[in-house]
Amino acid sequence: MQDLSVGTAWLHSFLTDYIPEWAAVTLECLLIGVGLMLLYAVLALFYILFERKVCAYFQCRLGPNRVGPWGLMQSIADMFKILIKELISLNHIDKFLFALAPYLVIIASMLAFAVLPWGNGLQIIDFNVGIFFLLAVSSIGVLGILLAGWSSNNKFTLIGALRSGAQMVSYELSMGLCVVTMVVMAGTMSVGGIVEAQSHLWFIFSGHIPAIIAFVIFMIAGTAETNRGPFDLPEAESELTAGYHTEYSGIHFGFFYLAEYLNLFIVSGVAALLFFGGWMPLHIPGLDAFNHVMDYIPSFVWFIGKAIALSFIIIWFKWTFPRLRIDQLLTLEWKYLLPINLFNLVLMVIVVTFGLYL
């Protein structure tokens, strides 16, 4: 497996040959920031087109097919449209909090981006509590949604924000317990350590029934956490117009739109990290020739491919199931997912204690 840290180490040594150490580190941070923003934009544009095409397929339609070959430029055209849209000034709102809310949502997803293991040696931050940091920063997004709903001074936005707060706080418990279950199996909270622990076999295969249960619950909770159907109560168009971002326009609305799709990628990326080895290739014990061939596929291709495949499952949810009522949504979490999660955590502890995993 190619170690991409060799390239980053070469770049650092090259820069320090010509400029001081502090200047080299500053320049590297700037390059990383620019790279993250470019990747953020490209992935968002890809996911917008991807969902439109998948949605069209499920509904026996063609999807975008006019702008560019096969409609591939449609998302780019929409991006320019949002960028030049007017920012409508509203009266009787909390202007500071109204303007701050979309930036909080964007910051939360950008910080989570930094922790994801994009490839072998291609990770911005990796420390001994990396998965805990990931859970912490991903929780900031709900603050932006609550502020957006409250500061807009609109009953529809307020209802959407309250729904979102109840929904995200509730389903964060299930997501957190699923993560803790897999941390118990990995024996570390380091993102890199979790990937390395799956070098022989991915956790979804080696963790037996507890890992499968945790994966199913994580995908359900992740769908709810990103406010996607059938859990899109905070922005239910038939009830609340556009929910918590009804009053937003132009680039501010674009921030919420981008964050929704990037949160979809982040949830899928965390699922790939915890259950499918992150950037680790598929290795089957005893099949050395097969494992050797798998190692030739670049590590970042493995990670991005797994994340997109899991995103397809979440998009499949949205275009298959009808929207739940708010009481059904909370009943699913508190009466079913949470008790199953607690039992599953104890089951995983038993599996690890007695060495029953593969």
Helix, strand or coil, per DSSP, at residue 312:
helix
Helix, strand or coil, per DSSP, at residue 247:
coil
Interatomic CA distance for residues 318 and 331, integer angstroms: 19
The per-residue pLDDT for 238 is 64
Mean pLDDT on 84-96: 81
The per-residue pLDDT for 252 is 83
Going by C-alpha positions, the residue among 12, 29, 30 that lies closest to residue 21 is 12
Mean pLDDT on 169-191: 90
More confident residue, 313 or 162: 313
- The answer to whether 253 and 217 have CB atoms below 8 angstroms apart is no
More confident residue, 127 or 242: 127
pTM for the full predicted model: 0.89
pLDDT in tens, 13-26: 888 888 888 888 88
The per-residue pLDDT for 82 is 83
Interatomic CA distance for residues 21 and 43, integer angstroms: 32
Helices first, then strands: H and E counts in the chain: 16, 0
The per-residue pLDDT for 358 is 65
Mean pLDDT on 333-343: 93
CA 51 to chain CA mean position, Å: 15
List, in order, residues 6 or more apart from 204 with CB less than 8 Å away: 211, 212, 215, 275, 276
The per-residue pLDDT for 236 is 65
pLDDT in tens, 40-73: 888 888 998 998 898 898 888 888 888 888 888 8
- The answer to whether 108 and 138 have CB atoms below 8 angstroms apart is yes
The per-residue pLDDT for 215 is 95
Interatomic CA distance for residues 149 and 155, integer angstroms: 8
The per-residue pLDDT for 242 is 67
Mean pLDDT of the chain: 86
pLDDT in tens, 236-280: 666 666 677 778 888 888 888 888 888 899 999 999 999 998 888
